[in-house]
Structure 1
Amino acid sequence: MKKLVLLVTMLFVVYYARANQPEIMFQPESSVPELGKPYKAKINKSFIKSLRVKVFPHTLKNDWVHGKADDASTVTLLGKNITFNEHSTNKITFTTENGKLFAKSGGVKKLINKAFIKSDFPVRVQRKINPDKSHSYNGVLEVLLQDNKILVINHINIEEYLKGVVPKESVDTWPLEALKAQAVAARSYAYYHLLTSTGKLYDVDDTARYQVYAGQSAQSETTNQAISDTRGEVLTHDDSVIVAFFHAYSGGRTDSALNIFGNSVDYCLPKDEIFSREDLKRELSPRSQWIVEWTTDPLTHSELLKKLKSNSKLSKKLKLFSPKRKFTLSEVEFNQDFDSVKTLKLSQESKVTSINFIDVRRAIGWSEFPSYHFRLNPIKNGKFTFSGSGWGHHVGLSQWGAFMMAKNYGRTHAEILKHYYSNVSLEKF
């Protein structure tokens, strides 16, 4: 029991230390559109409205911004002069009972269908679980019931929305041109989802499923300036807003959307970084240099196979493989462009199967497996390790690349964006 407690404590310390390094306290990669969705959206200025952001509940695992999954049966809104049903209040608590939504304020409890909450001041969405990770929001908050769970949706102007995104997707002490590049990428990403979410209750949520958003609570002067200086700017390809994919650092060369996502995206092609890995290491503190080159913690045969089998795509392929028996793992297909493995072979007695490099990272988890460019190391002391380079999915804008290009090469945000995205234009909404 003491060993278990010690192990858990050590894991927490390692995670906390990594998550709280100022150089890396941002989301390392953008998410990918749902299967079947296009990778760009035709501009329709008459369609543009406020963005609808789901800010409650949170269900994403390993969500360092929002913490543990929420109790979606209750939520409290706190603020100054909150307008609700034509009355002004400072506190409203919403609860669910027998599939119905109730609002309580000033000792009065009412049955409602939904509510639109307005205030001239930020309104705090107070969470029952992880209250210290509650955030405050401008705009309008819509509260409704879906599948017996309370939803809170923030209706917010995109420029205001970005003020809660850019500080969480970059570092506010970075050069202004790097922050401007991030602002344009984030704005393009938001407009794409707004234009393609017809028929849904919300356009995006506030987690890494889309872009991390922490409302008014996250704002900083420098990121606000970057947003203001690029107001309305989006990236387009063939008169369509692109999905401006971004990641923390490529490892030296960005990858194509085809190789990583399995879909050809003609504005996301491989691009070499204009600086070396050693150049970037010199900008990082020693404990943050894993961003450039990393090695996973050792895994036993049993631990690795259990992680691989936890992946829904691999579980069927590995159904007959036993964690109680040893196996061999080897590289069989290699990507010379990135010094990275593409396909691995797993053998156990008479059973043999292949595993795609994408599925390895997805199974082990991004918090333990920083990127998709990696190699399998020789087995040591009966345990497996992998070594790789970069942080994130390698597609589109390299955030640390933007930092380096702005700081050490004097590049503008437009030059940075056109380096990482092929055949794109900057247009204003």
Structure 2
Amino acid sequence: MKKLLLLVTLLLCINCGVVMASSPDIAVAVVHGQFAAELSCEDELTVRVPNTGEEIVLKPDRYFVNAEGGTVNLGAQKFGSQTLRFTVKENGKPIEVNKKAYRGSFEVRIAADGKTLDVVNVLPLEQYLYSVVGEEIPVIFPDEAIKAQVVAARSLAYNRLGNRSRLGYDLKASEEGQDYYGLATEKQAINKLVDVTAGMIVTYNGQPIEAVYHQSGGGQTENSSDVWGRYVPYLRSVKDYDWDAPMYNWEKALPASEIERRLSTRGYAVGKLESIRLSPLEGSSKMFGNDRTASGRVQEMIFSGSGGTFLFTGQQVQEILGLNSTFFEVEVNRPVPNSIEIPIENPYGIEIGRKEVPIKVSERSISFKDILKDLHFVSGEKGEMVTFKGRGQGTGLGLSQWGARGMANNAPSRSRDYYKEILTHYYTNTRVEKIY
């Protein structure tokens, strides 16, 4: 009978993929590559040196750690290359690092560069999510949309566990699109939804996925190969239900001089901007140019000026010009005067006065824009603006937060655990399962 039970247990483990008994801890570098940091607590702090077993009890106060001389130093006391572990008693006051309060304990060690410090917060993964999701999504969103965000954030963090063990942490506090600020961003209503979904993650072939997410896809999410240059089977372009998103449609207008300045500060001496080449974004029913992805996002575009011609990726343009996404098109708008002053001459060609004549712009007039739809000429004249008209916000990869909201708001009546439907829509051919 015991052998039968053991066989059944092994088969269950194989079928489940990743199985754990309880929530794992996650190590988050809240200070990375800095020379010094401040730690404080309203309770006694216990400092341990794991390698030597040494233990120091500090009274409630502020303390400074630094990396002077390439060693871990607590005030004037030097600990060489040892790691210091700071803990408080169970249910004690939280430890603060640089005036931010956190759950869990801390480890202070020399960073990989051998010259600066890493201060690493070690805490249960579920408690890490309290802060991340509290910062990431509005508490007024529907519960099922928030649950989808929780499970996506948990899956992404779980996917990263152990990947940087040689560095002493799993994630930095602000990377992977997940910002971690400790207790300051926790919200009780969201904490409850984290607890309700405890242990639930998204898997593909039994393994936790790289569950990246973004704010709004502008009606269509993106394929991983068009953003990362690598194929990920569950990060495929799907319909986005983000029509209520504030950035579903957006515009940003810049004068040519500002574009020239921003390119120049990044080392691209385009000089006086003369033209921008980018095919039009005319809707999903028409064929895009080779400079766009299948969904219509900008893959590459060209800026030409007196200083030369430069080819940029859509991501580069988004970052340099501060755009919301790569899902955009370009227009060059010049102010058209309402009237023009013309001279009045006598039969001998001598000006005897001036007359103001109104200007009527015909809608049927043909311009270069009609003939060369991918080439936008820039003159730099006064009042001219280069306008970027786009959709969505973020990379367009994976879960759309506003799309999740749209799906949740339109969920079938009496549907249960609809967050799973949301997740398997945005992460293709995946499953949502409990692993602890």
Range of TM-score over shorter length: 0.7 to 0.9
Are 1:171 and 2:134 counterparts?
Answer: no
- Contact preservation (8 Å) 2:23, 2:125: no
Aligned to 1:67: none
1:89-129 C-alpha deviation (Å, 9 max, x unpaired)? 2123223433333224xxxx4222331111133434342xx
Which of 421, 425, 429 is the matching residue for 1:419?
425
Given the superposition, is the C-alpha separation of residues 422 and 309 from structure 1 closer, same or farther in structure 2, using an over 3 Å criterion?
Answer: farther
Aligned to 1:392: 394
1:69-106 C-alpha deviation (Å, 9 max, x unpaired)? xx6324232232222224252123223433333224xx
Aligned to 1:308: 263
Secondary structure (helix, strand or coil) at the match of 1:295 reads strand
Are 1:360 and 2:317 counterparts?
Answer: yes
After superposition, where does 1:246-261 map in structure 2 within 5 Å? 246-261=213-228
Q: TM-score, normalised by structure 1?
A: 0.73
Secondary structure (helix, strand or coil) at the match of 1:153 reads strand
- Contact preservation (8 Å) 2:109, 2:117: yes
Shift, 1:243, TM fit: 0.5
Given the superposition, is the C-alpha separation of residues 172 and 304 from structure 1 closer, same or farther in structure 2, using an over 3 Å criterion?
Answer: same
1:303-339 C-alpha deviation (Å, 9 max, x unpaired)? 323433555xxx5xx4xx443x332112143548545
Given the superposition, is the C-alpha separation of residues 196 and 310 from structure 1 closer, same or farther in structure 2, using an over 3 Å criterion?
Answer: farther
Aligned to 2:278: 331
Aligned to 2:344: none
Of 206-215 and 261-270, deviating more is: 206-215
Q: Distance in 2 between matches of 1:98 and 1:345?
A: 48
Are 1:226 and 2:189 counterparts?
Answer: no
- Contact preservation (8 Å) 2:273, 2:303: no
Q: Distance in 1 between matches of 2:387 and 2:103?
A: 46
Are 1:118 and 2:124 counterparts?
Answer: no
Shift, 1:261, TM fit: 1.8
Aligned to 2:353: none
Which of 303, 307, 311 is the matching residue for 1:346?
303
Are 1:151 and 2:86 counterparts?
Answer: no
1:37-83 C-alpha deviation (Å, 9 max, x unpaired)? xxxxx8475998421100114x8xxxxxxxxxxx6324232232222
Shift, 1:155, TM fit: 1.0
After superposition, where does 1:15-414 map in structure 2 within 5 Å? 43=18, 45=20, 49-57=24-32, 72-84=35-47, 85-91=55-61, 92-104=63-75, 109-112=76-79, 113-119=82-88, 120=90, 121-127=92-98, 134-146=99-111, 147-274=114-241, 277=243, 280=244, 289=246, 291-301=247-257, 303-308=258-263, 310=265, 315=267, 318=268, 321-323=269-271, 325-332=272-279, 333=289, 335=292, 338-348=295-305, 351-364=308-321, 368-380=322-334, 381-410=383-412, 412-414=418-420
Secondary structure (helix, strand or coil) at the match of 2:273 reads coil
Structure 1: gaps (5+ residues)? 1-41, 60-70, 128-133, 282-288
Q: Distance in 1 between matches of 2:326 and 2:307?
A: 29
Shift, 1:195, TM fit: 4.2
Q: Distance in 1 between matches of 2:389 and 2:324?
A: 10
Q: Distance in 1 between matches of 2:314 and 2:265?
A: 15
Q: TM-score, normalised by structure 2?
A: 0.72
Shift, 1:373, TM fit: 0.4
- Contact preservation (8 Å) 1:122, 1:137: no
Equivalent pairs: percent with the same residue? 24
Structure 2: gaps (5+ residues)? 1-16, 48-54, 280-288, 335-382
1:350-401 C-alpha deviation (Å, 9 max, x unpaired)? 944433322211322xxx3111101111243333221111111111100011
- Contact preservation (8 Å) 2:100, 2:184: yes
Given the superposition, is the C-alpha separation of residues 54 and 347 from structure 1 closer, same or farther in structure 2, using an over 3 Å criterion?
Answer: same
Secondary structure (helix, strand or coil) at the match of 1:165 reads helix
- Contact preservation (8 Å) 1:164, 1:213: yes
- Contact preservation (8 Å) 1:74, 1:96: no
Shift, 1:186, TM fit: 0.5
Opposite residue 42 of structure 2, the aligned amino acid is G
Compute the RMSD of aligned alpha carbons.
2.6
Given the superposition, is the C-alpha separation of residues 102 and 200 from structure 1 closer, same or farther in structure 2, using an over 3 Å criterion?
Answer: closer
Secondary structure (helix, strand or coil) at the match of 1:390 reads coil
Secondary structure (helix, strand or coil) at the match of 1:371 reads coil
Secondary structure (helix, strand or coil) at the match of 2:65 reads strand
Shift, 1:416, TM fit: 0.7
